[in-house]
Structure 1
Amino acid sequence: MDLATLIGLALSLFLMIFGIVWSPDKGLELTNINAFIDIQSIMITFGGAFMATLTQTESLKVFVNNLKSFTLVLKVMTVSESEIIHKIIDLSNVARKEGLLALEEAANDVEDEFLKKGILLIVDGTDPELVRSILETELSCIEDRHSSTFGFWEMVAAMGPAWGMIGTLIGLINMLKNLNDPSSVGPAMAVALVTTFYGSVLANWIATPVLTKLKANSGKETRMKEVMVEGLLSIQAGENPRVIEEKLKSFLAPAARAGFTEQQEGGEN
């Protein structure tokens, strides 16, 4: 579970509710929250935003899968670039000592399907350019699938405020029809505005943070797979493990490189 995402979502919701129910003069007034609960506004804003997004989605199955992607932001990526580099170096040592064919047995201990596929391509004697082409094509397809999910949440983020405004206009029209009753203007205006509130919440509390986190995770996954491609091709070319290490460390940030070197030296000791 990604605690940063969970804490961020929970605390932002808490602060929003606190701002609704807290009054500097009177303290907590829990009844204030009743003004922000309106079923009709919820149906217009959330229902309208998601149904408009569904209309622009390839299929219902894709729509459901994109909705499920929300759970991905709550998961921690257990593998890092440093761990991948360590794995590549281990594989390069095996190949250098025992030959490329020995990598087939080592592939049995590899969990990442992308890395395993590349290892088996090398073991089969596939031309290096073809290995690169196959792996980069698969990486491109992964990025395309991720882009489809990004587009879904971008659309939700855009549709939320738009449908909030539609709900507000509906409320204002209904309010203007009853101007002969001044006592109804205030409550009707509050209901009209709450749909705009829902639209902003949908866009800025859910859709945009989810989109940003998914993009960050996708970027990290892409970098790790690029490390795998470069590492595997270096192994196939018969490069020295030390040279491979220095080449792959260029993917790391300066602080991560220092930590990687210290970890490597500690392992050797």
Structure 2
Amino acid sequence: MKKFDSLTLVGIVLGFIVLMLAVLSNSGISGVIYFIQVASILIVFGGTVAATLINFSWADVKTLPRVFKEAFNQNPQDIGDLINTFVELSGRARREGLLALEAGVEEVDDPFIKKGVLLAVDGIEPDVIKDIMMAEVLAMEERHRKGRAIVLKMGEYAPAWGMIGTLIGLVIMLQNLNDPSTLGPSMAIALLTTLYGTVLANLVFLPMAAKLENKTDQEVFIKQIVVEGVIGVQSGQNPKILEEKLSAFIPQSKKKAEEAEETMNAGA
């Protein structure tokens, strides 16, 4: 079950707070107003969106809200619980046969596990099961890659449009050198668009793309455990052997923590 990932929001908000504090420490509250320029916002945001629409098809762009939403979600899966699920399925398959798993698999929430177990129940060869399930993993990676590519491109376009805004501001400033009253606003546009583009890229788009990549890697890792578990159940492996095999996927740090906890509980 997906949960809200507060760290993404905390990171973005914290970044803006740090910037605000830096401005306040030197210019006070009145100085913050000078960092808000509608023209600069329009150039950076509008230009980034326009370039993104040109770069990608509408079918890709319309998935962007879901991609951004995914960066604020997390789907924590405990590897230990996953291993226990397959140990239980393996034990039941050895006692009652693979066909007995068809009724029990309905209790499993993960559709990927369900699909694998049902393929095993159908008597499909282990190599074929692995090919089918890994094909789904590859398709998932490709979908995630496409969504992540849009965010990465927006991270590239934002600073570029910031520089474009800077050039616009400089041109306006140079055209009105005889009017000192226009120099300040023109210079503000010139500098703030670069600031907006750089902050937007390095605080929002690029970190978000990196987080999406990490989430994809974790999801692929979990699905690899599922594939190995399904193959173990289908081939009739001993539950203890299967448990030892799948335990190789548990990080050593977590193993040591669990061992320490078990030792403490035993001592208590």
TM-score, reference length from structure 2? 0.91
Cα deviation 1:233-264 (Å, max 9, x = unaligned): 01111111111111112222101233456789
**4+ runs of 1 displaced by more than 4 Å?**
259-266
Contact 2:39/2:189 (CA < 8 Å) preserved in 1?
Answer: no
CA shift, 1:229, in A, is: 0.3
Q: In structure 2, what is the equivalent of residue 168 of structure 1? A: 166
Cα 1:212–1:33 shift into 2, 3 Å: same
Contact 1:82/1:260 (CA < 8 Å) preserved in 2?
Answer: no
> Residue 242 of structure 1 is aligned with which of 235, 240, 243?
240
Where do 5+ consecutive residues of structure 1 fail to align?
none
Secondary structure at the aligned position of 1:29 is classed as: helix
Q: In structure 1, what is the equivalent of residue 51 of structure 2? A: 52
Q: Which amino acid aligns with 1:176?
A: L
Q: In structure 1, what is the equivalent of residue 18 of structure 2? A: 15
Matches of residues 120-269 of structure 1 in structure 2 within 5 Å? 120-259=118-257
CA shift, 1:184, in A, is: 2.6
Identity of aligned residues (%): 37
Give the distance between the partners of 1:48 and 1:82, measured in 2 at CA.
47
Cα 1:143–1:19 shift into 2, 3 Å: same
Give the distance between the partners of 1:140 and 1:194, measured in 2 at CA.
42
CA shift, 1:64, in A, is: 2.4
Comparing 97-106 with 71-80, greater Cα deviation is found at 71-80
Q: Which amino acid aligns with 1:208?
A: L
Comparing 131-140 with 243-252, greater Cα deviation is found at 243-252
CA shift, 1:13, in A, is: 1.4
Asked if residue 2 in structure 1 is aligned to residue 1 in structure 2, the reply is: no
Give the distance between the partners of 1:181 and 1:79, measured in 2 at CA.
64
Q: In structure 2, what is the equivalent of residue 115 of structure 1? A: 113
CA shift, 1:78, in A, is: 3.0
Give the distance between the partners of 1:259 and 1:226, measured in 2 at CA.
23
> Residue 86 of structure 1 is aligned with which of 84, 87, 103?
84
Contact 2:155/2:206 (CA < 8 Å) preserved in 1?
Answer: yes
Cα deviation 1:192-223 (Å, max 9, x = unaligned): 11000110111011101211111111111110
Matches of residues 23-34 of structure 1 in structure 2 within 5 Å? 23=26, 29-34=28-33
CA shift, 1:100, in A, is: 0.8
Contact 1:88/1:231 (CA < 8 Å) preserved in 2?
Answer: yes
Cα 1:96–1:263 shift into 2, 3 Å: farther
Comparing 141-150 with 177-186, greater Cα deviation is found at 177-186
How many residues in Structure 1 have an aligned counterpart in Structure 2? 261
Measured on the aligned residues, the alpha-carbon RMSD in Å equals: 1.9
Secondary structure at the aligned position of 1:111 is classed as: coil
Q: In structure 1, what is the equivalent of residue 40 of structure 2? A: 41
Give the distance between the partners of 1:214 and 1:128, measured in 2 at CA.
31
Q: Which amino acid aligns with 2:7?
A: A
CA shift, 1:3, in A, is: 2.6
Comparing 219-228 with 85-94, greater Cα deviation is found at 85-94
